[in-house]
Amino acid sequence: DVDEAILLGDRVFVMTAQPGRIKAEIPIEMPRPRHVEATTSDVFIDYKRQIHALIKTEAQKAVEHG
């Protein structure tokens, strides 16, 4: 869950579809403690967009290459 990874983690790793390698490491630079309210902040939403874009790219590659 991307939201949970951002909320609880210090870093989020996005992997390639095939072979499974690390595509990106995103350091989560948000102050702690983090509460559910943080999920509506601009910084949180930017992280979420960035991670979803990386995942989408890999999903599209997987579909194209079977």
Helix (H) or strand (E) holding 29: none
pLDDT per residue, tens digit, the chain (66 aa), is: 999 999 999 999 999 988 889 999 999 999 999 999 999 999 999 999 999 999 999 999 989 887
- Cα–Cα distance, 12 to 48 (Å, whole number): 10
| Residues contacting 34, CB < 8 A, separation 6+ | 7, 8
> Residue 65: its pLDDT value, please?
83
